């Protein structure tokens, strides 16, 4: 009995021992799986440079994957050499072989690989900075605090202006003219390509060509101030016909007010002098049109994907929240908060703005 008992004790001790040894290994493997899953979850989505929707981004993504594959090969080689060095039986080596291994692996290989990468990378640059062909769509982007004014250069000098949203035709080159008055930004649409700085006092140009339809996200890629992280923009890539219809609609003045609540909202808009900062083409009260270039053009604000540069969705609830709490939602914004606006007025104002499709 005693012998059997001590055998049991020894067995359970052994099991505990094995568990202790294997558990950290399983933890490690589990952690590795989670890390890899997290790593690759970043490869897709509306703002991924590794899920390209434009020629420039495709070429950068190709280069990236070649570099990842090359780094993986070199890493595997180094691990092999390390294991070999630790495990191999010690024996006399020819000094000449060792010297050639160091020169070949430590000098020649890095010089060849890095030079090839540099030459390939530099050769890609002229294509990215070359102007778009004559007759291409031209869009001016003004970087503001903290949003993007988007102005389309359309036939007949029509003013077509958006805020924090771009719509582009697929497979058509587009040229962006980038400007800023008082702050540096960096214009970046990761799935399309870029990025390029907006510098006060200078005009920079960027040509891109989208290759598939969809809704994507752009961002400011340079720390520019309080609301740097709150100036994203939507990029909607459409078929050419659909894009032309959309552009023709954007060129139209705002729709007439639809009902009594929207009409009240319009009165609030002019009564609170929102027209001192915002344009709504086609709307006026007592001969006072809404024509100002301080804030975003709101002629078709109701049709946009989001408001406040991606900070809020575009619906009457969110519009009300924005007007009440501008500084809270976007620190540093120039738009004042209308905290004491009566609730009914605010509700009507949100309906009026959302109806501007």
Judged by CB, which is closer to ligand CUA: 142, or 185? Answer: 185
Q: What are phi and psi of 80, to 5 degrees?
A: -60, -45
Choose, by CB under 6 A, the member of 61, 141, 224, 298 that binds ligand CUA: 224
Q: Count other C-beta atoms under 10 Å from residue 94's C-beta.
A: 8
User: Considering only 7-15, 223-231, 234-242, 252-260, which stretch makes contact with ligand CUA by CB under 6 A?
Assistant: 223-231
Q: State the SS3 of 267-329.
A: HHHHHCCHHHCCCEEEEEECCEEECCCCCCCCCCHHHCCEECCCCEECCHHHHHHHHHCHHHH
231 binds ligand CUA (CB under 6 A): yes
Choose, by CB under 6 A, the member of 223, 259, 260, 328 that binds ligand CUA: 223
309 binds ligand CUA (CB under 6 A): no
Judged by CB, which is closer to ligand CUA: 187, or 269? Answer: 187
172 binds ligand CUA (CB under 6 A): no
Judged by CB, which is closer to ligand CUA: 228, or 272? Answer: 228
For the segment 174-193, give every residue that binds ligand CUA (CB under 6 A).
Answer: 185
220 binds ligand CUA (CB under 6 A): yes
Q: Count other C-beta atoms under 10 Å from residue 64's C-beta.
A: 12
319 binds ligand CUA (CB under 6 A): no
Tokens at residue 17, please? Answer: 């021992």
Instruction: Classify 207 as helix, strand or coil.
Output: strand
User: Considering only 94-102, 215-223, 250-258, 340-348, which stretch makes contact with ligand CUA by CB under 6 A?
Assistant: 215-223
184: cis peptide before it, omega within 30°?
no
User: Considering only 100-108, 114-122, 221-229, 275-283, which stretch makes contact with ligand CUA by CB under 6 A?
Assistant: 221-229
Is the separation of the CB atoms in 192 and 56 below 8 Å? yes
222 binds ligand CUA (CB under 6 A): yes
Whose CA is closest to 278, among 142, 149, 141, 138? 149
Which DSSP letter does residue 107 get?
I
Q: Which residues bind ligand CUA (CB under 6 A)?
A: 185, 220, 222-224, 228, 231
């Amino acid at each position: 009995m005693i012998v059997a008992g001590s055998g049991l004790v020894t067995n359970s001790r052994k099991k505990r021992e094995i568990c202790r040894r294997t558990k950290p290994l399983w933890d490690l493997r589990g952690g590795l799986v989670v890390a890899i899953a997290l790593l690759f979850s970043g490869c897709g989505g509306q703002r991924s440079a590794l899920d390209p929707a434009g020629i420039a981004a495709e070429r950068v993504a190709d280069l990236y994957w070649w570099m990842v594959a090359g780094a993986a090969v070199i890493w595997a080689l180094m691990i092999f050499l390390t294991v070999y060095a630790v495990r191999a039986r010690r024996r006399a080596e020819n000094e000449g072989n060792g010297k050639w291994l160091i020169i070949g692996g430590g000098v020649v290989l890095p010089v060849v690989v890095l030079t090839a990468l540099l030459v390939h990378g530099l050769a890609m640059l002229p294509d990215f900075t070359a102007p778009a062909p004559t007759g291409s769509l031209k869009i001016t982007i003004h970087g503001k605090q903290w949003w993007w004014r988007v102005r389309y250069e359309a036939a007949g000098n029509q003013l077509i202006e958006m805020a924090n949203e771009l719509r582009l035709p697929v497979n058509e080159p587009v040229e962006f003219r980038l400007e800023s008055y008082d702050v540096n930004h960096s214009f970046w649409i990761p799935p399309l390509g870029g990025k390029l700085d907006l510098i006060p006092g200078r005009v920079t140009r960027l040509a891109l060509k989208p290759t598939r339809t969809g809704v994507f996200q752009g961002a400011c890629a340079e720390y520019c101030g309080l609301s740097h992280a709150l100036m994203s923009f939507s990029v909607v890539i459409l078929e050419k016909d659909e894009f032309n219809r959309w552009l023709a609609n954007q060129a139209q003045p705002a729709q007439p007010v639809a009902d009594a609540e929207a009409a009240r909202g319009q009165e609030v808009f002019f009564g609170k002098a929102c027209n001192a900062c915002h344009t709504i083409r086609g709307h006026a009260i007592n001969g006072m049109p809404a024509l100002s270039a301080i804030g975003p053009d709101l002629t078709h604000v109701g049709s946009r994907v989001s408001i406040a540069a991606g900070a809020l969705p575009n619906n009457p609830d969110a519009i009300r929240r924005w007007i009440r709490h501008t500084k809270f939602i976007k620190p540093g914004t120039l738009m004042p908060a209308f905290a004491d606006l009566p609730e009914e007025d605010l509700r009507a104002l949100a309906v009026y703005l959302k109806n501007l499709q």
